[in-house]
Structure 1
């Protein structure tokens, strides 16, 4: 395994020898495809976060404008039910149809009523660490990306993934590689989990969102590290993953914002294929969520830097073959 150091000299697990032979980009198959079912125009500039409710409505968040909206999808627009002036950094729907959210500086997650928007404290507290992202598994565990605060980059302090049960009890922490005792994560940005318990962590490496996907077994072994792929990502256009979800067929989908693409990984982390969304007219893909019917929602960020622009697009995609 190749090991490099971050800005503070901490050793960080890297990809090269560890992944040898595991990340070959397979040819696109004819039965692997996605298509746009519907598109919606929002009154947000960016859609950084999506959480889908059981009735098909959703909460979408724009952190640049500190706006969180509960919306219904109407024809080609999002109709706002409730709008809150708040900035959140993580969101996940619980099995009781409430929303777990992460706000700045707090060590405890907060719980938002999905219908009313009322926010209360939750039982999930990782003090002294601070959450960076949230995921709720099918068996009700809550998985939280965390750090010890300060400046995100260069790396200092702890960078951890914490697993908690439904009652808020700490079950497990992933922080160092079991064999080399080296730091696994730089900044856990978002998380998803497959049905076999493998944990996929989008790990950001710098302030430009350059990143990778670290795949862990339930026991904490590193199964694979995906850093993007030659021919798709270059020094000029590095892999910048920002959103992740696991489909009903147990593949993992990742948005690459700057390259306007989707990466499709197997439940072990191997690349299956990728889609150039620019060819479909989808630009700035960012957040991801599954609809109640199993289609994929992609929330985009606006490329227009004008502060007055409100043009963020939400797409619903049908997929097959993965």
Structure 2
């Protein structure tokens, strides 16, 4: 085997190409044997050749060449011009007064930056992309399963159709057989009657023949005839044959009957992925399943109510909702059946100003007589009685507290108060400069709490959604998005939040619902043919329930899908 062409050959000298490498020129990056070192040194005398043992290759620093003075090495660095400079450059006036550094010092700083970038790439960015790739792979696997389930559902539906069609044509065939048998029996009965009449006529003919041939005159005179009755012929029995009118299949859009498949889409979240970090988020264990906004929200169901005007809705569960309107009765409805299950009448006989449901499933309502009430086992208990204030919106928080937004009796002040039971824990009324956070006046105001514990108020008097943090410090005010669907002023009514910390508010004037994120950025509108949207609530599956004031209906809308 030729050692020069063997896959396991040692490295050879770049000059003679035969001897084993022993030395290395760090200047020219050339591998040399000892015999060729001298020849290499004199081959280009313009360079200072740094020849070292092969195992020490790349140990010699290679200073950059000067771009202005050919063949000069730069040992200094001009910080102002951001370029390496040689001794000739330094002797000139080109860099006079500039801050000059030793290039080795700059080299150390550059290496430090490079090492930091390398560590960031190695420890953070690359692992993050690994996680992203794993996430995409998991989604692909999940999509494979879900698309398989989708195909199975379509196949099963097709089999159901086949069964129903088999039942249908068997039923039609059985009806045809039954009609045929009935009509044949009728015709057979008619035929039997005709045959009997024919037999009677034959008997009469025979009796007439006997009488004619008889010599008994008395018999001839006693003979009676039935010819007159036989002249009246029987009615014609004409059974009508049923006809089969098949529905046209060709040209018929059977998909509308069989079922339709919504279009798929690929969308991206503008917030993107989060960089991987070694620090654990305090809420990581309770992070909700990621969901994305549907391109086209869809109406799931519509529930009609018996109110003259409908205002508020609150989710008791994923199957039941409480509603309130323009009378003193609060009604519980089944979402799936659309039927009323029970009703509760306010203790005072007043119209409730707002309703909510506690985490334990009890109904809470505010009464403009200055009370906040809770319904337990269909019995009403007064929880809070206000003095000189009247409650508006109410919300039961994740911690079990009650948030109440209220007006003073003279309508000059508005504040939010947090209660634990009947004990006042916190009052939110002014910003850091002592200015009111909320408008004053007899306006509708609703309240909710976000997953990040922000307190969100829809302030109709201010034409805004006012969001403060848990401590009551103003975070932002949302005043609508331009252009509005109907180009009408933003007039918020009901407000709610979902598992993604989106804030949703009903815009009565523009017949839509605004979706904003937890920092107040507008995301999109929900339309779905809404008319006068008012109260809002969301169930545990992030289905949105919207009160339609004008139509006295509650619409269930799906607007999120799992990623």
Please indicate, yes or no, whether the TM-score normalized by the shorter chain is above 0.5: yes
Which of 403, 423, 440 is the aligned partner of 1:169? 423
Q: Does 1:142 align with 2:402?
A: yes
Q: Does 1:186 align with 2:439?
A: yes
CA contact (8 A) 1:50 1:61 kept: yes
Aligned twin of 1:19: none
Aligned twin of 2:351: 87
Aligned twin of 2:375: 112
Q: Does 1:286 align with 2:534?
A: yes
Distance 2:403 2:293 in 1: 36
User: In proportion to residue count, which structure has more strand?
Assistant: 1
Distance 1:201 1:55 in 2: 24
Match of 2:310, SS? coil
Distance 1:52 1:215 in 2: 23
Which of 454, 459, 472 is the aligned partner of 1:198? 454
Distance 1:55 1:239 in 2: 30
TM-superposed CA distance for 1:268, in Å, is 2.0
TM-superposed CA distance for 1:53, in Å, is 1.8
Aligned twin of 1:320: 560
- 1:1-322 aligned at under 5 Å gives the runs 31-54=294-317, 56-63=319-326, 65-75=327-337, 77-82=338-343, 84=345, 86-106=350-370, 108-113=371-376, 116=378, 118-122=379-383, 124-150=384-410, 152=411, 156=412, 158-165=413-420, 167-178=421-432, 180-187=433-440, 189-205=445-461, 211-232=463-484, 237-275=488-526, 277=527, 280-302=528-550, 311-320=551-560
Distance 1:250 1:30, change over 3 A: closer
CA contact (8 A) 1:53 1:97 kept: yes
CA contact (8 A) 1:52 1:291 kept: yes
After superposition, the C-alpha distances for 1:153-179 in whole angstroms (9 at most, x for unaligned) are xxx2x21111122x332221111111x
Match of 1:201, SS? strand
TM-superposed CA distance for 1:83, in Å, is 5.5
After superposition, the C-alpha distances for 1:194-235 in whole angstroms (9 at most, x for unaligned) are 121111111121xxxx7211111222221111111222178x
TM-superposed CA distance for 1:254, in Å, is 0.6
User: In proportion to residue count, which structure has more helix?
Assistant: 2
Distance 2:366 2:542 in 1: 25
Distance 2:544 2:318 in 1: 16
Distance 1:286 1:78, change over 3 A: farther
> Which protein is bigger by CA-based radius of gyration?
2
Aligned twin of 1:308: none
Distance 1:145 1:173 in 2: 10
TM-superposed CA distance for 1:244, in Å, is 0.6
Distance 1:30 1:168 in 2: 39
TM-superposed CA distance for 1:30, in Å, is 7.8
After superposition, the C-alpha distances for 1:249-268 in whole angstroms (9 at most, x for unaligned) are 21111110120111111112
Structure 2: state its 5+ residue gaps. Answer: 1-269, 271-291
Distance 2:493 2:507 in 1: 6
Distance 2:369 2:518 in 1: 33
Match of 2:339, SS? strand
CA contact (8 A) 1:73 1:79 kept: no
TM-superposed CA distance for 1:126, in Å, is 4.3
Distance 1:70 1:86 in 2: 18
TM-score by length of 2: 0.44
TM-superposed CA distance for 1:95, in Å, is 1.8
CA contact (8 A) 1:237 1:258 kept: yes
Distance 1:161 1:37, change over 3 A: same
TM-score by length of 1: 0.75
CA contact (8 A) 2:293 2:559 kept: no
Match of 1:95, SS? coil
Distance 2:500 2:471 in 1: 23
Distance 1:33 1:137, change over 3 A: farther
TM-superposed CA distance for 1:294, in Å, is 3.1
Distance 1:161 1:282, change over 3 A: same
Aligned twin of 1:306: none
Structure 1: state its 5+ residue gaps. Answer: 1-25, 303-310
Superposed CA RMSD: 2.5
CA contact (8 A) 2:542 2:560 kept: no
